[in-house]
Amino acid sequence: MAETLFDKYGGFDTFTQVVTRFYQKVLDNEQLQGYFAATNMERLISHQTNFLSKVLGGPDRYQGLDLKAAHASLKITVADFNEVAELLEEALDEGGVEQADIVTIISAVAGLQDQIVSA
């Protein structure tokens, strides 16, 4: 059986660190921080770690709404979606993820744009 990206990089420990770093970048970003003003970040980090882990071939612990329903009220723009993707790419790079795997992950995220962007 082929090794998943989840396993290759150390599973939940690694991706919890990546997601934590990612959200720190998001919260430091004036363009994006408003989306998270009333958000329980600890819960969101756990939730997003589970989602990313599932996408990367790890265990399916994701128990959230479907993406379209979860993001509809936020009125996310294409520009903001792209900014988030760039910050995720930086966090993955800083977390030691190889460039080829970053491309794979960002491509998977890009495929979700129509479910997240609503403005």
Phi, psi for residue 65 in degrees, rounded to 5:
-65, 165
Q: What is the pLDDT of residue 2?
A: 72
Q: What is the pLDDT of residue 80?
A: 96
Task: Give tens-digit pLDDT for 36-61.
Answer: 888 999 999 998 898 888 889 998 88
Q: What is the pLDDT of residue 26?
A: 96
Q: What is the pLDDT of residue 64?
A: 65
How many of the other CB atoms lie within 10 Å of CB of 37?
A: 7
> Which domains does the chain carry?
8-116 (1.10.490.10)
Q: Using an 8 Å Cβ cutoff, are 108 and 67 in contact?
A: no
The whole-angstrom separation of Cα 68 and Cα 8 is: 29
Q: What is the pLDDT of residue 65?
A: 67
Per-residue DSSP letter, 58: S
Predicted structure pTM score: 0.90
Residues in the chain predicted with pLDDT less than 70, given as ranges, are: 1, 64-65
